[in-house]
Amino acid sequence: MKKLLAWACLALALALSGPAMAAPKTVTLSVPGMNCAACPITVKKALGKVPGVAKTDVNLGKREATVTFDNARTNVEALMRATQDAGYPSTVVGSAK
C-alpha cells in the first residue's frame, strides 16, 4: 500500500511540475514599420497582452522587439500575430533561443 501511495505522489508531482519545467524563450522580431516615437509604445503594449510574455524591449533605432516568453503559454507565431494586429507586421531575426 505504501508503495502505491508513493507512486501516486510521484505521478502527481510530475504532472503538476510540467508547466514549471518550460524554459523561457527569447526571440527578436524585426518590425520595419516602426518610424516614430509612438510606434514602440504600441508594439510593446500589443506584445505585453500576449499571455506568457515576461519581458519586452523595443528598439526604434534598430526597428526590433526582443521578447522573452514562456513557451508553454505562447509561441513566436502568436507574438508576430500580436504585432500584425497592432498594425506592425514583424518577422523573426535569427532563431528563437
Q: How confident is the model at residue 11 (pLDDT cuts 50, 70, 90)?
A: low
Computed over every residue of the chain, the mean pLDDT equals: 86
**13/81: higher pLDDT:** 81
pLDDT at 79: 98
Q: Does the residue 70 lie in any domain?
A: yes
**Element (H or E) spanning 24, and its range?**
strand 24-30
pLDDT at 76: 97
Q: Kindly state the average pLDDT of the residues 45-71.
A: 97
- At residue 40, φ and ψ (nearest 5 deg) are -60, -35
Q: How far apart are the C-alpha atoms of 63 and 83, rounded to whole Å?
A: 12
Q: Does the residue 66 lie in any domain?
A: yes
Q: Does the residue 63 lie in any domain?
A: yes
CATH number at residue 47: 3.30.70.100
The residues with which 69 forms a beta bridge, in sequence order, are: 25, 53
Q: In the 8-state DSSP scheme, what is residue 23?
A: P
Q: What is the span of the domain harbouring residue 67? A: 22-93
Q: Does the residue 2 lie in any domain?
A: no
Please state the pTM of the whole predicted model: 0.76
Q: Does the residue 62 lie in any domain?
A: yes
Q: Which residues contact 63 (CB under 8 A, 6 or more apart)?
A: 30, 31, 32, 33, 34
